[in-house]
Chains A and B, each alone.
Chain A
Amino acid sequence: MVGPTASLSPLVRADGSASYQCPSTGSNILGSVNAPVELPGRRDALKPEDATVEVFVKPGTAPASVGERYVEGIIRGVVGRLILGRERGYQRRGVVITLAIVGGENVSRGDSYLTLLPALLHTALLALLSASVPLSMTFSATVLSVDAAGKITREPSAEDAAAAKSLHVLAFSSKGHLLLNESQGAFDFDTWERVRERASAICHGTSVGEDGDVAMVESADGQPLEGTIRETVEDQVHRDYSWKIDAA
């Protein structure tokens, strides 16, 4: 299993940015965050004491339509819960997240965005970290497909996803909370439970068995996604502060 690759702050003008590639689904996302900025015409926002989070998803080779609006809502829901919008400087301001699909298959009109959703979520998170937007915690997400035989595939390609019986996107916070559960297709509760366990293992690298034992499953799924995110950030911090770290 080849894990995703990511980099922080590839762009110059935006306050924060990230690029993210997932080889198994073939997706390649570029994300930017501008925050805190003044949002024109929205001064009487619904929450005057909080920041307003805006998410914009730009498809690579087609005009944006309902599919993008739908997935924007999901992303806004997840990151909106983590952003500390009451911190100094953020109240009544906007956090503008822009995600462009710059590589890989396009989601055809009317199709769900579930296969791309984890990549979009990770890009948004990394761009927020790059812009130093205050967050309560981080998260990691994955997409799993279940075929007719009940076999679970991690981060399926477009063809596998189309052939699957059900698709599931799960996101876990760095504290282990289940942050997002989006499913599509027919499945029973046992299947979902298996999916959740596998997803948790992919994100955190550990799965808690029924007897409470913590089993390491790193070998099967490579490095847990949480670790990939942390390493990406650490690499960038080392680059940014090499003048300080080398001198010490």
Chain B
Amino acid sequence: MNKEAPLSISERDFILNALREDVRLDGRAADQLRPLNVTFGEEYGHVKVQLGRTSLIVRISAEVTKPHDDRPFDGLFTIAMELTAMGSPAWDNGRQGDLETYVTNVLDRVVRHSNALDTESLCIVKGVSCWSIRADVHITDYDGNLIDAACIGIMAGLQHFRRQDAVVKDGQVIVYGLDERVPVALNITHKPLSITFHTFDEGKKVILDATRKEEQASEADVVIGLNNAGDVCFMSKFSGSGVDAMVFVDKTSVALEKVKEINAIIDKALQADLSKRAKTGMLEESRAENDRQPELEV
């Protein structure tokens, strides 16, 4: 029973009728995001995203591996998302559903295929060794709009992550520990995000950041992936009924506005985390000095 419970007729009709009066169940406007909260953990690349009642954790990790034979100059980048029964009782552990395939595919296209992470910078020795970056997405609560929430988590994680420094000496690759050498930030070329729209009432009503019930009641979804500069890197209308072409044109400008808004939230969270780290780092340094020269202190 790998399925969310279907909506009742009352719920479906009510959501549609309310949208005709421009009312959403949580009182939001059609183009309004739910409250978004991005926080970072102690480790580099550990992000928690809370978008309304949808929440997820992204962990970025790196290891040294061998590049693919046909791309000797490129490092590897993988996005791994598995929907477990944690996010929703409707999901089965260890069994891939349609939603998982679809979301993984979109994330791959928005983040990976748009070269948000410069994989060439991950090369250590041509054809011999490179970094493999892995983004694990753990969905902890599902209340709609997985794609956008996961995109936010992955992009925030990539910007927050620091990998160990590696150098080549006499043909040997030496990887320094995080405390031996200042860890290295990843090379991010641009910051694409996805914005998902859902259409109702024969395409006349379009909303973004739908909740689970709104998703279930909708006719079709439109995903637009773009960056702060407005470069569109992904666009899809995967299933459902037809959508007027003008919706894409109109909503792209709305999406751009939202991408800028979200990227600003991510930047702010990154800055806050950075200054927090700088503060505790300085504290630790001063404490270490005190330890060394206790007599002078007294």
Contact = CB atoms under 8 A, between A and B. Distances in A.
Direct contact of A and B (CB under 8 A): yes
A92 interface: no
B59 A56 contact: no
Interface string A64-108: 000000000000000000000000000000001010101100100
Interface in B11-51: 41-43, 46
B141 A56 contact: no
Interface string B56-85: 010111000000000000000000101011
Nearest to A99: B86
Given A11-B140, A60-B59, 18 more contacts: A11-B86, A11-B141, A12-B143, A13-B141, A13-B142, A37-B89, A56-B84, A60-B61, A61-B59, A61-B61, A61-B136, A62-B134, A96-B89, A96-B93, A98-B93, A100-B140, A102-B59, A102-B138
A98 B140 contact: no
A13 B61 contact: no
B141 A34 contact: no
Contacts of A37: 89
B138 A100 contact: yes
B189 interface: no
Contacts of A96: 85, 89, 93
11 contacts: A11-B55, A13-B142, A14-B86, A34-B89, A60-B138, A61-B136, A98-B93, A100-B57, A100-B140, A102-B138, A103-B46
Contacts of A13: 87-89, 141-143
A170 to B, nearest CB: 28
Please classify the interface of chain A as helix (H, G, I), strand (E, B), loop, or mixed, using the class held by over half of its residues. strand
B86 A17 contact: yes
A29 B24 CA distance: 35
A63 B134 CA distance: 10
Contact of B140 (A30, A40, A61): A30
Those 9 A-B pairs whose CB atoms lie nearest each other, nearest first: A61-B61, A56-B93, A32-B86, A34-B89, A98-B86, A12-B141, A98-B85, A96-B85, A98-B84
B85 A56 contact: yes
Please classify the interface of chain B as helix (H, G, I), strand (E, B), loop, or mixed, using the class held by over half of its residues. loop
Contacts of B46: 102-103
A50 interface: no
Interface residues of A, number: 27
A77 B84 CA distance: 21
Given A13-B141, A103-B41, A60 B86 contact: no
A21 to B, nearest CB: 10
Contacts of A38: 1
A40 B2 contact: yes
B1 A40 contact: yes
Contacts of B61: 60-62, 106
Contacts of A221: none
A58 B84 contact: yes
Nearest to A15: B89
Interface string B90-132: 0011100000000000000000000000000000000000000
A54 interface: yes
